[in-house]
Homo-oligomer: A and B are copies of this chain.
C-alpha cells in the first residue's frame, strides 16, 4: 500500500514537471500530455528495456495513467498563481518521486538477480530516465547532467540497495527519507558535483 501512495505522489510530481517544461517550450496540449507521460513513465520503460523485463508491463499501470492524465489536465487549466504555489512544493514531491522510483528500480533489478552495476543503472534510469527523455524532447540539455546534485542520490540509493543490506520495511523507509532529505538539501544549499570548467576554457584558448 505504501508503494502505491509513493508511486502516485511520484507520478504526479513527474507528470507535472513534464507538463511545465512543455508549457515553457510553448508546446501545445498534445506536447504537454506527451512530455508529462514521458517524464512519469519513460524511466520505468527504459529500465525494463535495459534489465530485460517486458516493456509491455507498463500497460498494467492503468491507475497511474489516469492519475497522470487528471493531474496534467488540471495543470493546463488552473490559474497562474496556483502554478506559482506549485513551484514551492514541486521540488519536494519530485524528490519523493526520485527516491521511491530509484529504490523500486534497484529492488526490481536486485530481485531479478542482476549484478551491482545493473542494479545501479536500473535505479538511476527509473529515477532520472524520464526526466532525461523529457529534456531531450524539449530540445534542452538534460537537467540531471549539469545542475544541482540529483542523479547522484539515485546512484547512492540504488548502490545501497545493490549491496543487499536493505531487508526490512523500516530500512526501506529510512533509505527513502535519506534520499529525499539529501535531495532537498542539494536544492536549498545549491550543492553541485565537481566539473571541469577549466578544460573548456583551455580548449577555447587553444582554438584562438
Contact = CB atoms under 8 A, between A and B. Distances in A.
Interface of A: 22-32, 34-35, 45, 49-52, 54-56, 58-59, 62, 65, 76, 80, 83-84, 114-115, 117-118, 132, 136-142, 144-146, 151-152, 155, 192-200, 202-203, 206
Nearest to A132: B137
Contact of A24 (B62, B83, B138, B203): B203
A155 B33 CA distance: 12
A142 B196 CA distance: 23
Given A54-B52, A56-B52, A118-B59, A30 B152 contact: yes
Contacts of A23: 195-196, 199-200
A25 B35 CA distance: 24
A80 to B, nearest CB: 5
A31 B145 contact: yes
Contacts of A145: 22, 25, 27-28, 30-31, 34-35, 137
A75 to B, nearest CB: 9
Given A56-B50, A145-B34, A26 B197 contact: yes
